[in-house]
Structure 1
Amino acid sequence: MSEKYTTLSEIIHERKSVRKFDPTHKIPKDEIEEMLLEATEAPSSSNLQPWRFMVIQDNETRKRLKEFSFNQQQLETASAIIAVIADTEMYHNIDEIYESNFEAGNMDKANMENQISNAKALYPKAPFEARLNIAAFDSGLISMQLMLIAKAKGYDTVPMGGFDKQQFAKEFNLEERYVPLVLIGLGKAAAPAYGSTRLPLDKIVTFV
């Protein structure tokens, strides 16, 4: 963690959605990779990890992205834009994932074979919408984890759902199985983020 934040609670409370980034600040590729790698410790359904990332740093590409993303200024000023993309055919990785877990000593062979069999019986037959819902939920988990990791390292973020997802898929020639979900601006804040309040617990929590 950074010197400024010493506890997870501090990081959670300090993380705000920044919309004005320092356009001169560049984050090295290896630092971005380090943050993404750490973020992949997030949980996912059957550990199928249905998230994919596109790290967009090229200026011309970001200008084109801005055109179908409501001209949000942070698309050009953030150090990088990380597109979080759901893989709705996550089942193609079943063998690789469970065999890797077996080789790492996380499960025995019988458990591996049982997990593979169960996953193959479930995921390929599930409707597209069901698989998209699973992938979107899991991608939300890793997105939040990534933003907290970035804050712990002294960087700022903003999640952006306001963009033409069909145009994004066309622009980057995504196969139909891949669905863009959110863009995360990553960089150094050039101005403080706005504070925000939250609903009281008695409006959102019920104990039964």
Structure 2
Amino acid sequence: MSTVKDSNLYTIMHARKSVRVYDPTHKIPQKTLEEIIKEATTAPSSSNLQPWKLLVIQDDKTKVELRAIANNQEQVETSSAVIAVLGNAEMYKNVEQIYSQNVAEGHMDETTKDIMITSTNRSYPYASLEVRKNIATFDAGLISMQLMLVAKEKGYDTVTMGGFDKTKFVERFDLPEHIFPVVLIAIGKAAAPAYGSSRLPLNEFVQFI
């Protein structure tokens, strides 16, 4: 099987930096945000259960409140939007909808759908909450990375933020028990260049056996 190497992908990967200074006057159009998010959802997930929810915070007053929750990080308020990536610990409840859609779109047959649904219902509901939250957190990381790369391809900058009070976030946005915050992503137009960053050499963290 041949391998296709898209040089544009590498350009985007290397151009993406963690930007913390944004143009507060620039507002990303709603349609563009929706396009970025839709493309990001091509990220893989455990059993394709897509255990994520996104809360896109654009309202200026709400961003001021969020800044206080997020350790007073300026980019929360000055970016065009903050995308809160949330995990869904009850992801298995979407299994019928997801696999029925797979059949409707021609990705699998009815027999395979039934097998997958049965398998999911025999395992996920009986896994501990900790296990399900770990799965959802991992998958939330995958969609987050894709979102940042898609945003860069469209000319926007991002930064992820794990430093925020998750308890206060849950209270402020009235999240149900099975939905929990994973990371915040500020997105907008950079007003100052980001710092470069180094990477450890491969021989310090890779072992081929």
- TM range, normalised to the smaller chain? over 0.9
Please state whether the residue corresponding to 2:167 is helix, strand or coil: helix
Q: Mapping of 1:18-167 within 5 angstroms?
A: 18-167=19-168
Could you say which residue in structure 1 is the equivalent of 2:17?
16
Query: In the aligned structure 2, how far is the partner of 1:85 from the partner of 1:124?
Result: 19
* Number of residues of Structure 1 aligned to a counterpart in Structure 2: 204
1:64, 1:80 → 2: CA distance?
13
SS state of the match for residue 27, structure 1?
Answer: coil
Could you tell me how far apart the structure 2 residues matched to 1:108 and 1:196 are?
Answer: 47
Q: CA RMSD in A?
A: 1.0
Distance, in Å, in 2 between the alignment partners of 1:67 and 1:140 is 24
Displacement after TM superposition at 1:154 (Å): 0.5
5+ residue gaps, structure 2 = 1-6
Alpha-carbon distance in structure 2 between the residues aligned to 1:59 and 1:175: 24
What secondary structure, in the 3-state scheme, does the structure 2 residue paired with 1:123 have?
helix
Q: Distance in 1 between matches of 2:48 and 2:128?
A: 19
Q: Which runs of 4+ in 1 moved over 4 A?
A: none
Equivalent residue runs for 1:165-176 within 5 Å: 165-176=166-177
Query: In the alignment, does 2:178 pair up with 1:177?
Result: yes
What is the Cα deviation at residue 47 of structure 1?
0.2
- Report the Cα offset of residue 168 of structure 1: 0.4
CA distance in 1, matches of 2:111, 2:71: 52
